[in-house]
Chains A and B, each alone.
Chain A
Amino acid sequence: MTQSFRLKSGGLINRDKKISFRFNGKKYFGYEGDTLASALIANGVHLIGRSFKYHRPRGFFGAGVDEPYAIVQLYRNGETEPNIKATEQELFEGLEAKSVNCWPSVNFDVGAINNFLKIFLPAGFYYKTFMWPKSFWYKIYEPFIRKAAGLGTVSIKHDKERYEHKYEYCDVLITGSGPSGLASAYSAAKNGAKVVLAEDKSRFGGTLLTSDVNIGNQSGKEWADSIVSELKEMSNVTIKNRSQVFGYYDHNMLVMSERISDHLPKTKKYHPKQRLWYIRAKEVLISSGSIERPIVFGNNDTPGVMLSSAAKEYMKVYGVLVGKKPIVFTNNDSGYETAIEFKKNGVDPIILDTRKEPQSEIIDEAKNMNINIKNSYVVVAAQGYKKVKSADIAKISDDKEKLGSVENIKCDCICVSGFWTPTIHLASQSGNKTKFNEKIDAFVPGTSKQNEKTLGAANGIYTLEETLKDSFEKGNQLSKEITNNDNKVSFPNVVEKKSTVHDKFWCVPLPKGKNYKRFLDFQNDVAVSDIEIALKEGYRSIEHVKRYTTLGMATDQGKTSNLNGLQLVSKIENKVVPAVGHTTFRPPYSPVSIGAIVGREVGKHSKPTRKSPMHSWHEKNNAVFVDAGVWLRPRYYKRGEENLFEASKREAKNVRTNVGVCDVTTLGKIDIKGPDAAELLNRVYTNAWLKLPVGKARYGVMLREDGIVMDDGTTTRISENHYHMTTTTAQAANVLSHLEYYLQLVWPELNVNVVSTTEQWAGAAIAGPKSRDVLQKLFPNSDVSNEGFPFMGYMEGDLFGVKARIFRISFSGELAYEVNVQSDNGKFMWEKIMEVGKEFKIQPYGTEALSTLRIEMGHVAGSELDGRTTPYDNSLEGLLSKKKDFIGKRSLSREAFMANDRQKIVGVVPLDKKTSIPEGSHLVKDSNAPLPNPKLGYISASCWSVEHNNPFSLAILKDGKNMIGKKLFVMSPLKNKVIPVEIVSSHYVDPKGERVRS
């Protein structure tokens, strides 16, 4: 197919570089610098999709971010992406796109039946239809809506592309590179301010690329190019194209999405696809311009009806004609610029101007070019289904109420201009109180809340001279206050054509006997009649009208529809527009890909991975790792064909019979120093700490103020004023913050310092009846006998030349020691332990065996200390000092905590001694009781007891104290299991605690 709508010359595209692409499977050609939209139009493709509700044919309406129709499914480099605006997607070699919202094809669409049923799909149809019978909802309505709804298909594959985040701080952020953006950026940069200038499109210059103006002795575009190249050379300026500032948040932080690779066939190696910028700006200058608004008339959604400014942009930027027999329908002078451009390119347009006798320089120029101008004329309705074929036009009375006789004229496009709406989204998001400007029939920014100012067209200023003057000045002023420089930029001479006032006309009345759909929202198919129904049904607030009719709720967020919607509501309600008010502008201004929001924090990269110094040894020795918070810990060490169950059983049994070693580096460690250290411990732990001698360790429990157990661990007195605290892996950070809170805010009088030393020490737990033998070999010169180094003792030792801290503490219930060395020596220590332990049959054990060992001896851990249990619940009441006060003590005397049948930790054994009990299961008295079956407790942890060779679990059970020996049922509805069990003591191994002291 040839590019039959491409002009012979002109435009900013590169005609030397032909690009091939596919749309709905068909191959076309375009040029480098095209968008998918401009290339399709050049090829005479005007039908691109179907509308959301009625499946009416959809073409192109705009040329950029405001596009409500031309949304496609994009295929690029083996990936697919929905919701891509063809007007924004730059063409690249091999691009593939498909229509959305149509089945089986864009030309023959089954859903278009909705168009003929539209009487049944009025405003609020979501709420009214599909209501009952209830059973129909799941089986018929919901699947139907799901199939019909949405714009395109989300890929369920893992996105291979890379997305980055960047944090930026600047003096002045400028959003948009039109005349106001360039002028303000230039004068701010000249004052030495750190400037970020963001342009949404691929080309800088905004309206300067399409308007017929002169600045200095250059054309608008030449001036823009020279300013841009100068800015690019300045080290204090960051200038970014394809970058949209889409959100304005608190404290002058704005977020910008930069599309780095979307315009390329493939992302370059080491490049991201997109980058999200978090920009904290001292000052923000909003130069986002304005968007042309449509005039509402019958069938105004027919392909070929589009914004007049878009038609001009397709000609001037892309060298493409949107039609060869155009009608320009306007209420202001902008339409004339488009008509003049058509004429210059050899096409004869007809201008229908709603105004009676407008006079201005631009109009004179059009007249001089012999353009056919019809004053007081309107388009009543577009005719044609898949493309405009003709227009019904009529004269309109001065009061704009009555239409003259309707005549039909042939045309292939209708370019509409209903004047301009400032893009105030960012200003409004920042908290700016917007105000209604009667002169331009639109809202403009009012009083700023944050450091933001709006320039040019975004502020309702539509002449170039005034825009440039104001922008140079604001850029200079704001930067001057920051940098104290005052380098004034001389103001260039501006040549632009003078225009006259617009006509506040926005909606063509229906001719007698006709019931044309007159659309306000083109993506969501909201017509004038829908708003009328909503108001008739009693909806008043604009926010309610919006949600009921879905006006402005599509992916284009009503950029072309909101204001006309307000006009209609105010007309019906007989109010002025500001009294109706606009709906809230929320970020993002335009859709942002989820990938960009997530950035690099995907999967394993969402958090850092922490590894112990012994990690490489574990890897070499077939460790299977498990995530423990951010740490990677060996879960078990696989031998041969062993599975998790077999390996962990072997490892745990070896600890009970010989000796094992476990990497406990991940335990939280806090160094505590100062003369009041003991006093701090005495206040935060529930037991007594003032008399702990140097060289001794003690187990302690910490509560929150509400009496719930926060954490447990051992703390050792290293010297007079020096303690070493350990916490659980999970609570390490919280415990440190907790201590800092009390020291800094509650008891600043305590002279104590705390610091995390988790990463400074590598730790190995050596556990089992032969652990003393291993220790003796490690420290041949130390007295490690039971008398010389008793339970809960501490000493320092020399581990083959490495200084080590040795603690006699046990988590497994066996005779056990923990050795700490500085992290750098961790691997050396580990290898020495394995070496000297060989003759005692030492084996490394992972977290699974560690759990088994602690569960069967009834030692509580994270699954019991889950933020819901008290010391009593965990059988830790023996550690509660009666003599002193401590954090959380007062809460323990609350009624519920003292209840006689309070929950308590117990052991659970299946009656058949075979069936494993799923963690999280419920304990009930009667497995056949009607639902809801009263729940007595829950299984907190389960293991296979290596000591007894049968399953064993810990549970938190109501009145657990009096339940020992009782028979209950464990129920797991999730796993569909019912297991008869017996309640036993939680201390299933060595209940008297003799082994740890042996």
Chain B
Amino acid sequence: MLYIKCPHCGMRSQNEFSYGGDATIKRPELGKEISDQDWDNFVYNRKSLRGKHWELWQHISGCRQWIKVERDTATHEIFKTLKANEEISL
């Protein structure tokens, strides 16, 4: 079970969180024209990275904030966590 540092609450066990997928995906702006391919990329196509990966988690059984977590998908090491409004520097 992972031990995740919620930027709002501190170190908490994984079972307080729910996983939210790739944190680097940006939702296309509402009302903008977008090609089928770009839309598919946004909705469906994800890389299944081995190694460092920025992902979203929501602290559902805590502060209910969505947070960004940089985790190694192979070793489960967590390098950094950010608040929702903090930008990821890749």
Which A residues have a C-beta under 8 Å from some C-beta of B? 167, 249-253, 278, 280, 431, 449, 683, 705-706, 733, 737, 740-741, 744-746, 748, 884-886, 890-891, 894
Contacts and interface: CB of A to CB of B under 8 A. Distances in A.
Given A252-B3, A741-B20, A741-B58, 13 more contacts: A251-B2, A253-B13, A705-B27, A706-B44, A737-B58, A741-B66, A744-B84, A745-B56, A746-B27, A748-B84, A885-B30, A885-B31, A891-B43
A449 B77 CA distance: 10
21 contacts: A250-B3, A250-B76, A251-B2, A251-B76, A431-B75, A449-B75, A705-B43, A737-B60, A740-B58, A740-B64, A740-B65, A740-B66, A741-B20, A745-B56, A748-B84, A748-B85, A884-B31, A885-B31, A890-B28, A891-B39, A891-B43
Identify which of A167, A431, A737 gathers the most chain B CB atoms within 10 Å of its CB.
A737
Contacts of A733: 60
Contact of B34 (A250, A741, A886, A890): A890
B73 interface: no
Consensus secondary structure, chain B interface:
loop
Interface string B6-49: 00000001000010100000011011001010010011100000
Contacts of B75: 431, 449
B1 interface: yes
Contacts of A885: 30-31
A705 B36 CA distance: 13
Interface in B52-70: 56, 58, 60, 64-66
B43 to A, nearest CB: 5
Identify which of B36, B43, B56 gathers the most chain A CB atoms within 10 Å of its CB.
B43
A744 B39 contact: no
Contacts of B85: 744, 748
B66 A253 contact: no
Contact of B1 (A278, A740, A745, A890): A278
A253 B1 contact: yes
B1 A251 contact: yes
Identify which of B27, B36, B78 gathers the most chain A CB atoms within 10 Å of its CB.
B27
A745 B87 CA distance: 11
- List the 8 closest pairs (A to B, CB-CB), nearest first: A251-B3, A744-B84, A885-B30, A885-B31, A250-B76, A744-B66, A746-B27, A253-B1
A250 B14 CA distance: 11
A167 B84 CA distance: 29
Nearest to B85: A748
Nearest to B30: A885
A741 B2 CA distance: 22
B37 to A, nearest CB: 12
A452 to B, nearest CB: 15
B66 A250 contact: no
A744 B76 CA distance: 25
Contacts of A252: 3
B24 to A, nearest CB: 12
Contacts of A250: 1-3, 76
Given A251-B3, A745-B56, A737 B18 contact: yes
A705 B1 contact: no
Contacts of A886: 30
A705 B39 CA distance: 10
Contacts of A741: 20, 58, 66
Given A705-B42, A737-B60, A745 B84 contact: yes
Contact of A744 (B18, B28, B42, B65): B65
Contact of A280 (B13, B31, B76): B13
Given A744-B84, A745-B66, A885-B31, A253 B60 contact: no
Contacts of A683: 30
A167 B58 CA distance: 22
Nearest to A251: B3
A578 to B, nearest CB: 23
Contacts of B84: 744-745, 748
A247 to B, nearest CB: 11
A882 to B, nearest CB: 13
